[in-house]
Structure formats: structure tokens, C-alpha cells
Structure 1
Amino acid sequence: AQIAEAVRLHQRVTRKQAMARAVELLHLVAIPQPERRVNQYPHEFSGGMRQRAVIAMAVANDPDLLIADEPTTALDVTVQAQILAVLRSLQERLGLGLVLITHDLGVVAGHADRVAVVYSGRVVEQAGVSELFADPRHPYTRGLIASIPNLEESRERLFSIDGSPPALGRLPGGCAFYPRCIYAAARCRTEDPPLHDVGGRFSACHFATTLPPFHSAVLAAASLDSGDVAP
């Protein structure tokens, strides 16, 4: 009924036609036995099936762009992979543009083509997924990637970015990331860097072109050793 409602709100179809479209959409998102499942209640679906039903509602009216905000939250790894496979399949079959909003860098690495990293309400870095993970050009991006556990490296402590994000109503002067940045300099306190082109990619850092070569373990060690923001 919820899926059919999304259809009837935007298309001139009968209730019967809308329900037939709901069955078609459940089939599209790989719900088994959609003719029977279409008459069930949400509590009769698993978490992954409910997520697929929501995706079916989102694509019910043939959008050009699908915005998926944390589509794998609270799902186990197996179901997460299934949901991402459904989204990929819909992209290919319907010609959808897909924007993923997520904190899961594994999802980003495995499914995105291009990445925009957001801090305090603004994009601070934008690049192709491969180049961003290989050589991030913003200190916040470096901190995010360095915090990913690596089974090939032995660390006594996992890396974390010191401090907390600022309240959007009380952003500091200059660069919003300045109070937490291990590369910060005096100008960062007063000058807010624009998002500028750095060889075909974009970074909002004064030192985007001069940051030292990136290696997550090196960055983690430097932060743990210093413990303070640079002067």
C-alpha cells in the first residue's frame, strides 16, 4: 500500500494498476515472491527486505537521480552487500544517477566513482575514488582514512582525530578544521581556504599541494607523538 501510494500520488493510474506496479517494483528490488509479499505488513519483512521496499518506493516514479542517505545503516555485512548490489543493479537497468551519503569508507571505496568529503557543512575535498584514497589532499580526509583499522599493520592504538566537530552556529574563524588539524599554521586561524583545483581534483586546504606524502600509519604516529596542533 505504501509503494502504491507513491505511484498514485504522481501518476494517473487506478488503485489496481498501482498495486500491479508495486508488485513489479518489489520484483525489481529482488524481493522473493512479490505477488504474495505485496500484501504483507512491514513487520513481516526482515530489515533488509524493508530497506529494499523503501528503495522500491524511491524509484517508483522513474527518477533520474537517486539519493541514498546511509542506505546500509543497522544492517549486517551480508545484507549490506545485498542492498548495495540492488542499488548497482538499479543504476544499470534504469540508467539512474546515484548519490550515496555515508560514513562507511568501505562502501565509498567499493562503490563510488567520485567522492566529496564534507566537514562542518561544506565540501573540503573532491576527487576520483582511487586518487582520493591513495593520496588525500585535505587533513580531514587523511584523518578519516588513517582511522580505518588495518590488519596488516600493528598499532597499540587506533588513530582518531582529536577534538570534536564545531557547532554549525559557532564555526571558528578561518578554517573550520583548524582546531583539530595536525598540519595547521597561523594563517589557518584567520583565512578560510576556498575549494580550489589541485591538478584536476579539489581541496579546501591552504597546503593542499605541499602536504607530505600520505601514509595512514605515518599520520597516526605523527598525531600520537605530537598530541598538539601545530603553531
Structure 2
Amino acid sequence: EAERLFELVAIPQPARRVRQYPHEFSGGMRQRAMIAMALANKPDLLIADEPTTALDVTVQAQILDLLGELREELGIGMVLITHDLGVVAGIADEIAVMYGGSVVERGATEPVFYETAHPYTAGLIGAVPTLDGTGALRQIEGTPPSIFSRPPGCAFHPRCGRAGAPCPVDTPRLLDRGGTACACHFPLTETAEAARPARVLDGDPA
């Protein structure tokens, strides 16, 4: 069964590899072995928590392709937990963006990226460098809240350039905003590109 699972996740020479130690595997092969272990009990749902961490770009692409193929071949659902928006864009059907332990925006992948409603989601998108190097690299000011001292109201309000009077007091509910569901008292009305609430690192005005 171990050999079959190794073959399923495209580890070469599975009969030989199942008798080797982890230090004899590359990082990508160890990741494939972990996926094989997760599939051993034939789950209906695969939860992948940062499945591409510490892998180079080429191996990362291979692992993501593998996860997509397994999802189709085995007919299983998959929850992908990651901070990498590039990974999300390439594999997810739906996205839930979390901040301070709560979902702040949720929807199908394309609307979340192109009809962004929450300032935090916009800040995440703005912090992703482009492949061609054009555009300013942005950052979200401040630091994430401690789980032991979560601010009242909207957890993101101390870092948000759009915060108003209700934000430090009232916790916003997750409401359908048309393109996505968003928990924000002042959701973005402009496009995500025009409304990212962050400072530009190259010195140009935001």
C-alpha cells in the first residue's frame, strides 16, 4: 500500500524508496511522502497547511500540480491554508481571508482578487511583487494583533487607513457586498488596485 501511495504521488522507484530514510529524500519528495500519508485513510477532505513552505519555485509548482491532480483523480475536497496569494490564485475555487482569528472576506477566487472589498485583502494583494518588477511594492502599516489582547471592534482598525468612528467599537458582520462577502464598516468602493490602504516603499505617494 505504501508503494501504491508513493506511485500515486509520483515518487519515482516507489519499491526502493519505501525502504529509505527521510534524509535520503529531497525536500520535494518528503513533501510528496507527507501527502501520501495524508491520503492513506482515503479521506473525503484533504487539509493542506502551508504545503509549499521552504520549497523552491520549481518544486512548489510540482506539488501544487500534484494536489490539483489528486483532487480531480480521487474526487476529494481540499482546504488549502497559506499566506501565499500566488498559490491561492492558481489552485483555489473559493477564498476566505482571515485576520485576527476571523474571516474578513470570502468569495470565489476571481471576485476576491478583482472586486476586493476589505482593506486587509487589498493590502495583501498590494504586498505581492509583480513578475516584471513594475509597480510599487506596498506594505500594511503596523503589526498583527496579539491573540491575547485583540482590539475591540474591528481587529484591523489600528492598521486601516479607512477606519472611522464605529471601527474601534463595533465588530463588523460578514455581509454580502455583491462580489464578495466582507466584514467591514467601510468596504472599498474603488477597484483593488486604486484602493489598497498601504504605504509605498519606493517613496512615491500611495
TM-score normalized with structure 1 length: 0.83
Q: Deviations over 1:26-77 (max 9, x none)?
A: 0000000101111111011100000000000000010000000000000000
Partner of 2:99: 119
Residue 101 of structure 1 is aligned with which of 65, 78, 81? 81
The alpha carbon displacement at 1:206 in A equals 1.1
Q: Is the 8 A contact 1:146 1:219 kept in 2?
A: no
The amino acid that maps onto 2:190 is P
Superposition map of 1:78-157 within 5 A: 78-150=58-130, 151=132, 153-155=134-136
Structure 1 stretches of 5 or more lacking a match? 1-20
Give the partner amino acid of 1:196: L
Matched-pair contact (CA < 8 Å) for 1:182–1:223: no
1:120–1:166 Cα contact (<8 Å) kept: yes
Q: Distance in 2 between matches of 1:42 and 1:30?
A: 16
Residue by residue over 1:101-132, the C-alpha shift from the partner in whole angstroms, topping out at 9 and shown as x without a partner, is 00110000111100000001110000110111
Counterpart of 1:29 in structure 2: which amino acid?
V
Alignment counterpart, residue 180 of structure 1, candidates 135, 138, 159: 159
TM-score (norm 2): 0.92
What is the alpha-carbon distance in structure 2 between the residues aligned to residue 111 and residue 169 of structure 1?
A: 33
Shift of 1:152: 6.0
- The answer on whether the counterparts of 1:174 and 1:191 sit within 8 Å (CA) in structure 2 is yes
Aligned length: 202
User: SS in structure 2 opposite 1:188?
Assistant: coil
Q: Tell whether the 8 Å contact from 2:47 to 2:79 is kept in structure 1 after alignment.
A: yes
Amino acid in structure 2 at the alignment position of 1:130: E
> Is 1:212 equivalent to 2:189 in the alignment?
yes
Superposition deviation, residue 148 in structure 1: 1.1
Percent same amino acid at aligned positions?
Answer: 58
> RMSD over aligned Cα, in angstroms?
1.8
Residue 167 of structure 2 is aligned to residue 167 of structure 1: no
Greater radius of gyration (CA) = 1
Name the SS for the 1:118 alignment partner: strand
Residue 134 of structure 2 aligns with an amino acid whose one-letter code is E
Looking at secondary structure, tell me which structure has more helix per residue: 1
Separation in structure 1 between the aligned mates of residue 51 and residue 160 of structure 2, nearest angstrom: 30
Query: Which deviates further from its counterpart, 146-155 or 71-80?
Result: 146-155
Deviation at 1:186, TM superposition (A): 1.1
